[in-house]
Structure 1
Amino acid sequence: MSLPPSLDIPLDRLISVATDAARQAGAVLRESARTGFRIEHKQIINLVTDADHRAEQRIIDVIQDAFPTHPILAEERGLTEPSPSRYKWVIDPLDGTTNFAHGFPAYCVSIGVECEGLGIIGVVYDPTRDELFTAQLGHGAQLNGAPISVSSTNHLDQALLVTGFAYDIRETANNNLNHFARFALKVQGLRRTGTAALDLCY
């Protein structure tokens, strides 16, 4: 897949700002995990904490300082003011809120940038392990600066799979449980980590 024509902001610049924002948000999450946080319920099993909101605001501040005309689609706040910019930032300040709320160290900060609707860079930061995943369209992915690639495993019985469940798992029959059970009998291992962005990185 090729880049949009006449990309006027270098990908490295976008990665740099996204990395700075993700690391700062990660620091907010680490501090909140240490000192405490408030929990609210968006739905019965869909949580949000004040750490989500603080981390989200930190990301927005970093992005707006660097690119004040770029719209931002945020997990908690939604879309900022519409803008004619070709670029849009998509952010999840705390992917894995339920894990975070229970003290289970599997959560991350996730930031992506689109240009004319095409995803061009992505950054995922795991503050519990200080692992930074980055990717640029057409240039592969890295973990802490070292290139990474997908698994070469090509047989299910030798594969470790990961999946997840939607927040309406109790209300809908289309909840993935039947697929989970069937795959569990076919693969070497099957995991449900509760943080989709990290799932994709691994």
Structure 2
Amino acid sequence: MIDAHSILKNCVDIVLQSGEIIREHWALPSNVRHKGSIDLVTQTDLAVEAFLKEKLVDLVPGACFLAEESSEDDEAPADLCWIIDPVDGTTNFVHRIPQVGTSVALWHKGRVELGIVNVPMLHRCYWAVRGQGAFCNGEPISVSGVDSLNDALVGTGFPYDIAKRLPEVMERLALVLPIAQGVRRIGAASIDLAYVASGKLDIFYEAGLKPWDFAAGILLVEEAGGRISNLTGAPLRFGDPLLASNGRLHALAVDLLSPTT
């Protein structure tokens, strides 16, 4: 049995330290290479991931790593695993847009037990331990009380293979835009989920996400009182389009978005 609370402080400290690498690199030129036509990686991604793996390896003996820049697959991880996105929002980082996050989750027996999303350039660190609530900079957070789609601020994202998925992306946007109060595309799913957890966004949906994009964030949402599923309302599985909400809007969001799945 993993006692996630007992390692929380040390884990948060390690993630905060990794944020200093992002801060240090912020003023330096980015050495960018392309993993895909619009999928970027920088020396900062690699440096943060290496730091996190070095520091976390002894925190939970026996845990493996599923990390964006070094993992060859994105299947459900082993029984005990750290799931890491060192720089979520690499394109934001390259353009020096401050919505850049580091996502660290501890996966155990089929679910996330601990999740941290640090946004170093905005000085916000979100964390949650299963069953113990969600926090930002040590203060409790909760989802919004919005119960009408007309009052809802909706977040979404666009997959790296958007050229192939453009019809479905546009179809969903066409459903949401006329009904919602507004739509935002922040460019980092872990931050979108942290924003749902803290009541800044009321709904977030996106297809094509990898485990490291959302593992920490889904626990934040659940522990803040929200709900996570796929777009049909069924339990989320790796590879599914993700839907997160404040809970009150979840059935309405499913009704709106599920016809396109």
TM-score normalised by L of structure 1: 0.88
The residue that corresponds to 2:154 in the other structure is: 161
Q: Across the two proteins, how many residue pairs are aligned to each other?
A: 190
Q: Which amino acid aligns with 2:191?
A: L
The residue that corresponds to 2:33 in the other structure is: 40
Identity of aligned residues (%): 35
* Mapping for residues 118-137 of structure 1, pairs under 5 Å: 118-137=111-130
The residue that corresponds to 1:151 in the other structure is: 144
- Cα distance per residue 1:121-145 (max 9 Å; x no partner): 1000000111110011111211111
Aligned-residue offset at 1:107: 0.9
With over 3 angstroms needed to count, the CA separation of the structure-2 counterparts of 1:175 and 1:49, relative to structure 1, is: farther
SS in 2 for 1:125: strand
The residue that corresponds to 2:252 in the other structure is: none
CA RMSD between the two structures: 1.6
Aligned-residue offset at 1:24: 1.7
The residue that corresponds to 2:97 in the other structure is: 104
The residue that corresponds to 1:198 in the other structure is: 191
Per mean C-alpha deviation after superposition, the further-off stretch among 39-48 and 181-190 is: 181-190
SS in 1 for 2:161: coil
**1:70–1:88 Cα contact (<8 Å) kept:** yes
Distance 2:30 2:7 in 1: 31
After superposing on structure 2, the runs of 4+ consecutive aligned residues of structure 1 that deviate more than 4 Å are none
More helix by share: 2
Distance 1:176 1:154 in 2: 25
Gaps of 5+ in 2: 73-77, 196-261
Per mean C-alpha deviation after superposition, the further-off stretch among 43-52 and 177-186 is: 177-186
Distance 1:146 1:39 in 2: 36
Gaps of 5+ in 1: 1-6, 80-84
Per mean C-alpha deviation after superposition, the further-off stretch among 130-139 and 51-60 is: 130-139
- Cα distance per residue 1:163-187 (max 9 Å; x no partner): 1111000123454222113211111
Q: Which amino acid aligns with 2:68?
A: E
Per mean C-alpha deviation after superposition, the further-off stretch among 134-143 and 168-177 is: 168-177
TM-score normalised by L of structure 2: 0.69
